Amino acid sequence: MNAVPERPGARVLLEAPDIARAVTRIAHELLETNKGPDDLVLLGIPTRGVPLARRLAARLAEVEGTTVPTGSLDVTMYRDDLRRHPTRALLPTELPAGGVDDKVVVLVDDVLYSGRTIRAALDAVNDLGRPRAVRLAVLVDRGHRELPIRADHVGKNLPTSAAERVSVQLTELDGHDAVLITGGTTGGGN
């Protein structure tokens, strides 16, 4: 486990052990809500939702001894705010072999903020099939919803101001695990 590098003006809110506990708690909640792992499909929303979905799948496998199908869901082309954000390369949408029809799809993301990413994800899932149910698991819920969307499973609720930015860093992409908050930017970040 690598130490979190210093970032001027940033406060570390969660470190690696906190994130690991949150993922474990979400995994247990998923199993309890679903009454086991049957028909679960985890779809991570790039970028950081994908490794979080894989971590959840690994925890579920540890607990239940079975593999939960996991994939990724790029929602870029479904966003209603494309004009307001810089262009980025599309990432692959990878569905598990069994697809999503009649499955309990769990969308996995790092930060829930306005709800617009999740609205886009719901549209994307609708184009891919007809799940029996769709649930949402997020590592951090920071509030400030613009749409009537809420997470079913939350690692940590972090009340923030709209001027603060929440940054999730994961070992798979950043070399360490941490959740940081910085203040003073307009627009709110994630």
- Per-domain boundaries in the chain: 16-161
Side chain identity, residue 97:
A
Task: Give the predicted TM-score (pTM) of the model.
Answer: 0.91
Strand pairing report for 165-169 and 153-157: unpaired
Q: What whole-number percentage of the chain has pLDDT above 70?
A: 92
Query: Which of the four pLDDT bands, split at 50, 70 and 90, describes residue 184?
Result: low
Mean pLDDT of 17-25: 98
Query: What is the average pLDDT across 128-133?
Result: 97
On average, the pLDDT of the chain sits at 92
Q: What is the mean pLDDT of residues 122-145?
A: 97
pLDDT of residue 33: 97
Report the pLDDT value the prediction gives residue 7, as an integer from 0 to 100.
76
In this predicted structure, the answer to whether residue 187 has a pLDDT above a threshold of 50 is no
Domain formed by 16-161, architecture: 3-Layer(aba) Sandwich (3.40)
